Chains A and B, each alone.
Chain A
């Protein structure tokens, strides 16, 4: 079946512009995660959605970052007034159930964001 998909695959924007990144999780997966990976670095947790529960937003680096998940499926990560330090690969993942335990996180291909 289809895996996690993300769009766009690449995004180049100018400093100060807003961007929206989209994630389509695997059908039926209740949990969805956003991570950020800068060059040569590990994954930085941003936000976690689980079913109808309030999302865990503890990883969002500033109030310029927000995310929503509509209908328990598609998620959009929005970065307002982008800065050069926002340049990174933004990865989305989903899992069948809550994070941890036997619920493997499957990753999408990522969106490479470049802020000029």
Chain B
């Protein structure tokens, strides 16, 4: 089992819809969780971080964390074609909130005009 798992997609949604991206992780003691966006041929950039169970909202983005289920998700409201990219879930390794990040393989999102 991979440490961080994501559906590779592609996930296709129409413009204006809600895109839901999911991620599960295996290390029960992980403390910090991140969503990165990576455009084709570019480097990853941080979108959201979340550390506590529940929801965290930032503009059109909402991160959701459920440590009991070892599940973290990213919702993108009012999806735009410019949101089309690969979204990488990353989790800190181990029980400390500091340390190396383990990345999932990413989910490709396509937002169709």
Contact = CB atoms under 8 A, between A and B. Distances in A.
Nearest to A98: B98
B16 interface: no
B32 A101 contact: yes
Given A98-B98, A101-B98, 6 more contacts: A33-B100, A43-B101, A97-B98, A100-B32, A100-B97, A101-B32
Interface of A: 33, 35, 40-45, 48, 56, 58-59, 91, 97-105, 107-110
A20 B8 CA distance: 32
B45 A107 contact: yes
A97 to B, nearest CB: 8
Contacts of A97: 98
A48 B100 contact: yes
A102 B32 CA distance: 9
B49 A105 contact: no
Contacts, number: 65
A110 B38 CA distance: 13
Contact of A99 (B8, B99, B105): B99
Contacts of A42: 4, 6, 88, 103-106
A46 to B, nearest CB: 9
B37 to A, nearest CB: 11
B100 A43 contact: no
Contacts of B101: 33, 43, 45, 99-100, 105
Contacts of B103: 35, 42-45
Contacts of A48: 99-100
A97 B43 CA distance: 20
Contacts of B96: 100
